[in-house]
Amino acid sequence: MPEITLVEAVTQALAYEMGADNNVVVFGEDIALNGGVFRATDGLHAKFGDDRVFDTPLAENLIAGITVGMAAQGLKPVAEFQFMGFIYPGFNQIVCHAARMRNRTRGRLSCPAVFRAPYGGGIRAPEHHSESTEALFAHIPGLRVVIPSSPARAYGLLLAAIRDPDPVMFLEPKRIYRHVKQDVPDNGEALPLDTAFVLREGNDITLVTWGAMIKETLAVADQLTNEGLSVEVIDVATVKPLDMDTILQSIAKTGRCVIIQEAVKTCSVGSEIAANIAEKGLFDLHAPVKRVTGFDTTMPYFKLEYDYIPSEARIKQAVMETLEY
């Protein structure tokens, strides 16, 4: 079996679940005939036809609204927003209707929908093409927010998201869409939602991250390992609800933690993780928790993107300061 990229794993998961469940439908801007701006739906229209893979107008409010309607009537819609920064016109439908459907109907209806969007920076695109605003959706009761960081996790987590009876925001870090390839068996095996993954075990410090920042974090862990340090790396994967048990168990072992995210620092997912550590793991800490983040600005254009996205140097500096505290 050939190795595949993260974006190809998304395509593979969609094709598998569409083949297994006729209620799964896929739609969005330019996703049918063109296969999507990043080719994540390439070949699905030819395989499953107009009724199950179709293009929509450039109207994100409409995309979100028909997703809610389809889900409430027994379908399993997977809606693609071309970029996360384009999702805001659909925010009302997602927050006021998709997220509240189960509570509003006291369980009589649910909203088994997946809202997919490429997210994050790193491709030198204009404004609205490089957003990392996962915290907006993580704040909303009734929504899951899932961010894969590898081809295998993209495949398994997307299957789980489609099968979940409630709405899932599935944010795909486009900077690593084609960064690595993995052998991903097309066996339909889902990975658990609401579960963090320990990518590397260690005893000296815990690095907590998700999405594209896994790339730089693992690179720093490799450097530190070569320098004789023992580093634990945790991929949060589901940022809402957070698997704090895995994170707290790691901190009880290492006593030190650095949180790495691409998003802005203030009121972020990293802030929530740090607050949970302060509430539940304070006496296990040997040093204050550090955060390495983007800046509290809009993602700058083009060449400045890589000054905004946390670098290996910034991560390593934070780790060393925490270890030396």
Range of the domain at 109: 6-176
- 272 secondary structure, DSSP code: H
Report how far residue 191's alpha carbon sits from residue 194's, in angstroms, rounded to the nearest whole number: 10
Tens-place pLDDT, residues 21-45: 999 999 999 999 999 999 999 999 9
Element containing residue 12 per DSSP (H, E):
helix 6-20
Are residues 223 and 167 part of one domain?
no
130 domain residue, yes or no: yes
Residue 148 has pLDDT above 90, yes or no: yes
What percent of the chain has pLDDT above 90? Answer: 94
148 domain residue, yes or no: yes
Tens-place pLDDT, residues 89-124: 999 999 999 999 999 999 999 999 999 999 999 888
182 domain residue, yes or no: no
Are residues 82 and 39 part of one domain?
yes
pLDDT value, residue 108:
93
Q: Which of 146, 176, 206 is the last residue of a domain?
A: 176
Residue 65: count other Cβ atoms within 10 Å of its Cβ: 18
Average pLDDT over residues 61-65: 97
Are residues 171 and 222 part of one domain?
no
**CATH assignment at residue 162:** 3.40.50.970
Q: What does pTM read for this prediction?
A: 0.97
The gap between the terminal CA atoms of the chain, to the nearest Å, is: 48
Are residues 101 and 242 part of one domain?
no
Cα separations (Å) of 199 from 133, 206, 217, 290?
Answer: 24, 11, 11, 20
Q: Which of 176, 209, 234 is the last residue of a domain?
A: 176
190 domain residue, yes or no: no
Tally the domains of the chain. Answer: 2
Q: What is the mean pLDDT of the chain?
A: 96
Which one of the listed residues 45, 128, 129, 179 is annotated catalytic?
A: 129
Tens-place pLDDT, residues 244-293: 999 999 999 999 999 999 999 999 999 999 999 999 999 999 999 999 99
Token pair 């963090």 in the structure block, residue: 196
Is position 129 annotated as part of the catalytic site?
yes
